[in-house]
Amino acid sequence: MSGLEIRDLTVEYNSGGILVRPLVNKSMDAGDGQLVVLLGPSGCGKTTLLSCIAGLLTPTSGSIRVGGKEVVGLAGAALARYRQEQVGIVFQAFNLLPSLTAHGNVVAPMALARVPRAEASRRADELLARVGLAERKDHRPSAMSGGQQQRVAIARALVHDPPIVLADEPTAHLDHVQVEGVLQLMRELASPGRTLLVATHDDRVTDIADAVIELVPPAQSAHSAVDREPEHVQLDAAEVLFRQGDPGDLVYLVRSGRIEIFRELADGREDRVTVVGPGQYFGELGPLLRLPRSASARALGPTEVVGYTVRRFRYEHPDLANNLGGWARSARHAVATGEDLVR
């Protein structure tokens, strides 16, 4: 039996001296035979979560159980066996070897596992036929469409008949015609004995899913209802409003007191970014871009803040909100280019 159980998974890493938490206390289940979609924008932790499940990344804390067996803590030969036998991975960029044919790409992981040549060839033929590419098996990737390359990648992920198949943005490089065929194939792959986990920001994939897990809560959307009431928060001195890595769903306006925005560094120290006083706002990057908080916020003394959805903030404070659109554009550019920009 397959099936996936994740409990309280947290991932932390050092990025240029800054402590980054793409996942914080994440729990989820994916049942045997299910197609489960991890939905969310870039940067919300989808690929990080898949990497942990695949045994390619070790989480800071938490548990991952596949078929009832704990994955976190595996090492050496046990980890190698898990990666080979229990998990198949379909990469976003296909990752096919350009010098090999479709048949050769599917045979390759079996050759590395020392599967006899005749058996590996037979298995490759069988899988390529299953994904509808029997007649294209002697073509190299450069002679195939994006959809065909994705099918080869799926066939390759199935060579050891793993109980868990992970697909990272499988429709990212496909046109609408190619997407239809790949979605149909993925739906067929999720069957008793195999669980398929798909990370995507493509809403079309949700139509074929048995379950959808949003890594970013719906409340984080910049399109939240205008009539959601503002949240008034009273903070004592040194009380933390939110921490680096927390979901970011509200923009905050300081009514009284002061808020210190700081980064938690990988070595345990803190780096002050700015101090926000009465009449100033902070925390807009999270809800605008549906990203986790990139810094922490703490009261420097008794402080009152008011939390707004983006739309509510624009509605009630149009004079302040005029800068939000420009900030969002700058933030998107910073996220895309890796520039140092924190809110």
pLDDT per residue as tens digits for the range 156-166? 999 999 999 99
Report the share of the chain in percent with pLDDT over 70.
89
Q: Residue 247: how many CA atoms within 13 Å on its side-chain side?
A: 13
Q: Residue 3: how many CA atoms within 13 Å on its side-chain side?
A: 9
Residue type, 267: D
Task: Judge if pTM exceeds 0.75.
Answer: no
Per DSSP bridges, beta strands 61-66 and 303-308 are: unpaired
How many other CB atoms are found less than 10 A from the CB of residue 314?
18
What gap in Å lies between CA 303 and CA 252, rounded to an integer?
12
Which of residues 186 and 303 earns the better pLDDT score? Answer: 303
CA-nearest of 262, 264, 293, 325 to 44 is 293
Write down the residue that tokens 């009284």 correspond to.
256
Report helix, strand or coil for 113: coil
- Residue 336: which pLDDT band, with cuts at 50, 70 and 90? very low
DSSP 8-state class, residue 194: B
CATH number of 220-337: 2.60.120.10
Length reported for the chain: 343
What gap in Å lies between CA 202 and CA 199, rounded to an integer?
9
CA-nearest of 154, 180, 155 to 167 is 154
Phi, psi of 235 (to 5 degrees): -120, 140
What gap in Å lies between CA 333 and CA 323, rounded to an integer?
16
Answer yes or no: is pLDDT of 219 > 60. no
Write the DSSP string, 32-55.
TT-EEEEE--TTSSHHHHHHHHTT
Answer yes or no: is pLDDT of 247 > 90. no
Does domain 4-218 correspond to CATH entry 3.40.50.300? yes
pLDDT per residue as tens digits for the range 11-67? 998 888 888 888 889 999 999 999 999 988 777 889 999 999 999 999 999 999 998
What gap in Å lies between CA 179 and CA 205, rounded to an integer?
9
Report helix, strand or coil for 95: coil
For residue 227, the model assigns a pLDDT of 57
Beta partners for 303? Answer: 235
Report the share of the chain in percent with pLDDT over 90.
55
Domain-by-domain residue ranges, the chain? 4-218, 220-337
Q: Which residues, 6 or more positions from 105, have their beta carbon under 8 angstroms from its beta carbon?
A: 96, 97, 141, 152, 156
Measured CA to CA in angstroms, residue 89 lies from 102, 288, 297 at distances of: 17, 31, 38
What gap in Å lies between CA 132 and CA 148, rounded to an integer?
9
Measured CA to CA in angstroms, residue 163 lies from 1, 72, 105, 196 at distances of: 8, 17, 21, 8
Write down the residue that tokens 């048949």 correspond to.
103
For residue 329, the model assigns a pLDDT of 42
For residue 174, the model assigns a pLDDT of 77
pLDDT per residue as tens digits for the range 91-106? 888 889 999 999 999 9
